[in-house]
Amino acid sequence: MEQCQAIMSSPSARIADLLAGSFAGAEMAIERLPFTIKRVRSDEDMRKAVQVRHAAYARHIPAFAQTLKAPEASDYADGAVVLLAESKLDGSPLGSTRIRNNFYQPLSVEESIVLPDWLQSRRLAEVTRLSVNEGRIGLVVKTALLKACVTYCQDHAIEWALATGRAPIDRQYERLLFVDLFEDKAPVPLKHVGNIPHRVMAFEIDTIEERWTQAKHPMLDFFCRTHHPDIDVGEREGGARAADTRRGTLPARQKVKDFSMA
């Protein structure tokens, strides 16, 4: 019998239970969220994503936030997906992030670093511009957006997800068992984030359940044993690219379109 729980935005104890990994057992639980996560598909969706992105960066790095008042070229690039979290109550934007794979062109982080050998020719995706509103619901939204990124990677046979974080944001990726690309763990100035030094980290997608089970990770149930109908990252990879979904097979890159901002 399916287990179905409803998360209400008001009880903080319910949110705490969720983030502590309160679901147990072999059966897949069904969890309803007080918000939805979807792909940005319209100008209005993009406006909301940019709104929450700019507000989040303005709280922490206001100078760089001035460059984020409008959509970026990377939002429209081949292989890019922008995700938007919206309140079910009033449709207001609660969070956003961008995922971009390396099927068509190198990742943004590759403007600043050379990937180590163990990531060369791998199917990769980079998670950038992770942004959420302030308030107690923000942690749940961030966690759900990260799960949406994992789901996207699983649907598209991504082997490793890359993320960058400045201190102390990098610690959240450590807690998720990301690993550093470089042994010294030294922050690297990155062009796509205003040359601000960030740690560059990676997460192996296929082994998430195995690694998190071994580590008794508190997010295991939320990510791996709970179905969230309110998280919809779109269709799985198919059609002409389906033959390229084998692990270790990077599709031949196509010519990148010239996108201009309106």
Helices (H), the chain: 12-19, 43-60, 62-65, 137-155, 170-175, 208-215, 220-224
The pLDDT, as a whole number, for residue 259 is 26
**Superfamily in which the 4-235 domain is placed by CATH:** Gcn5-related N-acetyltransferase (GNAT) (3.40.630.30)
Give the CA-trace dihedral at 246, 122, 129, 203, to 10 degrees: 90
Least confidently predicted of 17-21, 31-35, 123-127, 195-199:
17-21
Contacts 24+ apart (CB under 8 A), 194-197: 194/61, 194/63, 194/64, 194/67, 196/61, 196/64, 196/166, 197/166
The pLDDT, as a whole number, for residue 32 is 97
Peptide bond just before 62 cis, omega within 30 deg: no
Phi, psi of 33 (to 5 degrees): -105, 155
22 Cβ contact list (under 8 Å, min separation 6) = 221
- CA distance to 16, 150, 165, 169, 214, per residue, from 7 (Å): 11, 21, 29, 26, 28
What's the start-to-end Cα distance of the chain, in Å?
A: 51
Counting residues of the chain whose pLDDT is more than 70, the rounded percentage is 80
Amino acid letter, residue 216: K
**Mind listing the pLDDT tens digit for each residue in 133-177?**
988 899 999 999 999 999 999 999 999 999 999 989 999 999 999
Number of other residues whose CB lies within 10 A of the CB of residue 261: 9
The pLDDT, as a whole number, for residue 239 is 35
Mean pLDDT for the chain?
A: 85
- pLDDT at residue 63 greater than cutoff 70: yes
117: helix, coil or strand?
A: helix
The full set of domain ranges for the chain reads 4-235
